Amino acid sequence: MTGDRHRDAVPASRKIRLVLDLRRKGVTDTRVLAAIERIPREKFVPDTFRDRAYEDTTLPIGHHQTISMPSVVARMSEALQVGERMKVLEVGTGSGYQAAVLATLCRRLYTIERHPPLAERAQGLLDALKITNVTTRIGDGMLGWPQQAPFDRIMVTAAADGRIPQNLVDQLGDGGLLVAPLEDAEGHQRLVRLRRDGHVLRREDLGPVRFVPLLPGVAGR
């Protein structure tokens, strides 16, 4: 029993250090920081990388995909300004870690993944953690989820080439926010935030990032 407690204390101490590091890096939203502290990131990384789960680094999760740096997860979650009554769309489930963080902040999360094995694993992890307000779908994230639109918030966790897909913009509700990485012709990526005000879209640049590309279709089909 003592050994079990000791093993559990190691990720807990690392998690505390990570949250303090995120504060130093400028993340101030207390709900986001609490979500990062609550969600066990070690569950979402491959076993071979579990000892690095609380480093602020990107890690591979298979299928040429990665789990984002905790600071990027926190930064994007903070930028999205999610309220507890909101309906949120995530494009790119990946490991499921960002989905787990968002799920603690919103009423309902819909998340789309183009790699079936990743979607299935993520749903299994969310179920195991008893996170019940997430619906996962295997599909083309560039098409969004029109049956559930409009969304109060949309997050894209892969870099669109040049512009955000119009399908996603169209599914953003009035007053809604969309946060996504965009890649320019030179291969540089910037995180942008769109705010819908009626028919007007206001765009903000939130700084440099690095994500895998946003691709159409379902992988392997």
* 144 occurs within a structural domain: yes
Question: Is 218 within the bounds of a domain?
Answer: no
Domain ranges, residue 163: 2-208
Note the pTM of the prediction, 2 decimals.
0.93
- The CATH code of the domain that includes 81 is 3.40.50.150
In this structure, is residue 215 part of a structural domain? no
By annotation, the residues acting in catalysis are 68
Phi-psi region of 176 (alpha: psi -120 to 50; beta: other; left: phi over 0): beta
Residue 3 has pLDDT above 80, yes or no: no
Per-residue model confidence (pLDDT) at position 221: 78
Tens-digit pLDDT profile for residues 65-101: 999 999 999 999 999 999 999 999 999 999 999 999 9
Establish if 213 belongs to a structural domain: no
Q: DSSP for 78-89? A: HHHT--TT-EEE
174 domain residue, yes or no:
yes
Question: Tokens 């309220």 identify what position?
Answer: 83
Q: What is the total count of domains within the chain?
A: 1
Q: What is the CA radius of gyration of the chain?
A: 17
